[in-house]
Structures are given as structure tokens and as C-alpha cells.
Amino acid sequence: MQLNASIEKMEKPKVNSPPTPPIIKSNWVKRSLTATVLIVYMIVAAYLGIPAIWFSTLLIQTKCYQEIIAIAYKHYSERMPGIPLFRTFNWYFLFLANYYFFGETFAQYLEVLTVKYQILGMLFKYNRLISLCLYLIGIGWFLSLLLKQKRILRQHFSLLAWMHVLCLIIVLQSYMIIQNLFEGLIWVIMPLTLVFLNDIFAYIFGKKYGKTPLIKVSPSKTLEGFLGGGLGSLVLGTIIAWVLCHIDHMVCPTKFQLVKNTIEMSTNCSRSYLFQPVNYYGFNYYPFLNHLQVLTLFASLIAPFGGFCASGFKRAFKMKDFGDTIPGHGGVMDRFDCQYLMASFVNVYIISFVRNYSVEKFLAKVLNMNEEVQLEFFHVLKQNLTDQGLLN
């Protein structure tokens, strides 16, 4: 009997298992299509300049804020339902944070608007006072909600803390992107591109060669993908940056000028030394590429930890994605989790190692003074230049 059973087992033909559904292939197609759309949108926004990029940054910021605060709200409302007016309260603080940072950021770049529109000059001048008053109103509103719902004090204060942290992480860093933008479009486009390239190459190398797990909170990340992402972004990022250095629209700081009672946006400039070609053995090399290596190093080694933190956050709340806004990628925060950390670094890097004093910006501030102060400034400057022997 055992012999017959063994013979039947040996003679039984092998049946091939049915192919697995092409879920991975479908997801890859979705990711590729949406990534292409995002790249095309980025190119169009770069061509249109500051208004389009500022609007896009504001839209992304709002969606990221909404995705995260919705998670917090769901988490606490399931434990203790009935938190009144909290969604309205949440949007009020988002508006307040944007109002404050808008004034702080644009006041130093849009002096020409304050000359033409006095109301904007007043808003910029008293921006901090108005913001403080609005903040106190919000806190008073918050306390009034506590008086009505004393049984959920912990949930209220937890969500208030969430809102403040998100305003620092998302709103503040969004306006760092805007500050970078006024230094030249390339300081926004290249960091954005480097993070995208690092994600793409890390995904490709991880799928093809990945064997060594990198970090427990994100099991899909591998050491091979991590290193491949850095190498790929360095090579391709340098080529893209070299091409962009040839375009004045990318490297010149954006200026707003009053021409015949009309405000015009201009990207014409005398190029800084960073974007003036230096000939090396017949090849035009731009000093900006030296700074690009530092940005690439950060985008490859440090910025991915923004994604790791986001993965840990999702794992803590037992979620796969922050949302489903972008097909194949998840929520907006899933796609831009590393960008905010990158934007902060670029802003600090520009202020520390790149930015120089601008005569035009300084002159605009002087012209905003009243006539007596302008004359006083002129005499003090003349006296100092004379003492230094620069004037006779």
C-alpha cells in the first residue's frame, strides 16, 4: 500500500499555481502616472513663478494639515465623542498661522506694494499686534468651549497641542519655502527635485537589489535602496541643476517693481557669482553646483528620516496612508513628508552660507522712512564713509 501510494505521488503531474493578481503592477502604473502629472505641474508652476508656487505651497500645506488633524480628531472623538465646534476652531488657527507668517515673510519682499496700497503697509506694520489679538481671541474661544464641556478637558488640550505643533511643523516651514523662493526659483525647484529623485531611485534600487532592512518603523525601506537613492539623486540632480543654471528665470531673485503705476514681476538681474560659469578644461562649471552637493547629501541622508517619522506615525495609528488624494501614493502628506524638513534646511543654509546684503532691498527700506529720517541717515552715512577715507 505504501509502495502504491508512493508511485501515485511520483506520477502525479505538477500543477502550476495560478498567477497572482497584478496588484503591484497596477500600483506601479498609478504611481508612474501621478508622478508624471506632479512633475508636469511643477514645471508649469516654475514657469509661472512666485504666484503659482505660493498658491501650490498654500494648497499642499492646507491639505497636509487637514489630513493629520483629521487623524487626531478621529482618535480622540472615538474615545470621547462630542467635541463641539472643534473643526471650526482648528481652521481658525490655521488661518491665524498663515496670516502671521504671510506678514512676516512678505513684508520684507513686497515693499513696493506698501507704497501703492497704504492699507497693506498698515497691515504689514502692525502684523504682530493684529496676530496677537487674533490669537487671544482664539484662546478665549477655546476656554469658552471648556466651560461647556468640562468632562473632556484632556481631549481638548491634546487637540490644542496638536494644532500648535502642526502650525510649527507645516505652516512655518511652508513659509520657509516662500523665503527660499525669493532667493531664486532654483532654490525651491532643486531641493524639491532632489527629494523626488531620491524617492524614485530608492524605490527602484530597493525593489531590484533590496535585501538589508534599514529601519523597523518602515519595513519596506532597505539599505540598498537608501544608498541607491543617494547615488541616483547625486548624478541626475547635478545634470538637472547644470541645465537650470543656464536659465535666468531660475537663478535670478524675483523682484516686484512699480512701473507707471503698475506692479510688475521681474526676474532680470546681474547674476551672482554662484551662477556665473567658470571654465574648467573647456567645460562650463557653476559654483552653485558645490552647494548642490551639500543639498543632495541632506536630501539623501537626513530628509528621508522625515518619511521614517511619518511611517512611524502611521504605524502608531494603524494606518497605511494619510489619505487617498494622490492615486498610488496615498495622501498629500505621504508625498511631501520629506519636503518640509528639506525646506527648513535649505532656508537655514541660504541664510548661513549664501545670502548677501542686497542694496536694492536696503534702499527700499530707507525710502519707506520719512524725509527727516532719510536725511539723517544720509548725513550719518556720508560722515562714516568720509571717516573711512572712501569719500573726500
Percent of the chain predicted with pLDDT > 70: 86
Q: What is the pTM of this model?
A: 0.82
Q: What is residue 169's DSSP assignment?
A: I
Distance CA 76, CA 303 (A): 30
Cell of 107: 513684508
Nearest to 86 by CA among 96, 98, 74, 97: 74
Distance CA 197, CA 180 (A): 20
Q: Which residue has the higher pLDDT, 330 or 217?
A: 330
pLDDT confidence bin for 195, thresholds 50/70/90? very high
Q: Reply yes or no on whether the pLDDT at 216 is more than 80.
A: no
Q: CA 71: distance to chain centroid?
A: 21
3-state secondary structure of 109: coil
pLDDT confidence bin for 188, thresholds 50/70/90? very high
3-state secondary structure of 211: coil
Percent of the chain predicted with pLDDT > 90: 27
Distance CA 205, CA 213 (A): 13
pLDDT for position 17? 45
Nearest to 101 by CA among 173, 191, 188: 173
pLDDT confidence bin for 128, thresholds 50/70/90? very high
pLDDT for position 2? 43
pLDDT confidence bin for 141, thresholds 50/70/90? confident
pLDDT for position 12? 46
Q: Reply yes or no on whether the pLDDT at 5 is more than 50.
A: no
Strand partners, 218: 215
The residue type at 224: E
Q: How many CA atoms lie within 13 A of 328 on its CB side?
A: 16
Q: Which residue has the higher pLDDT, 5 or 130?
A: 130
Q: Reply yes or no on whether the pLDDT at 207 is more than 70.
A: yes
Q: Reply yes or no on whether the pLDDT at 28 is more than 80.
A: no
Instruction: Tell me which of 60-69, 161-170, 356-365 is least confident.
Output: 356-365
3-state secondary structure of 168: helix
Mean confidence (pLDDT) of the chain = 82
Domain ranges of the chain: 31-44+195-356, 50-184, 358-392
Q: Reply yes or no on whether the pLDDT at 381 is more than 80.
A: yes
3-state secondary structure of 324: coil
Backbone angles phi, psi at 372, to 5 degrees: -65, -45
pLDDT for position 99? 92
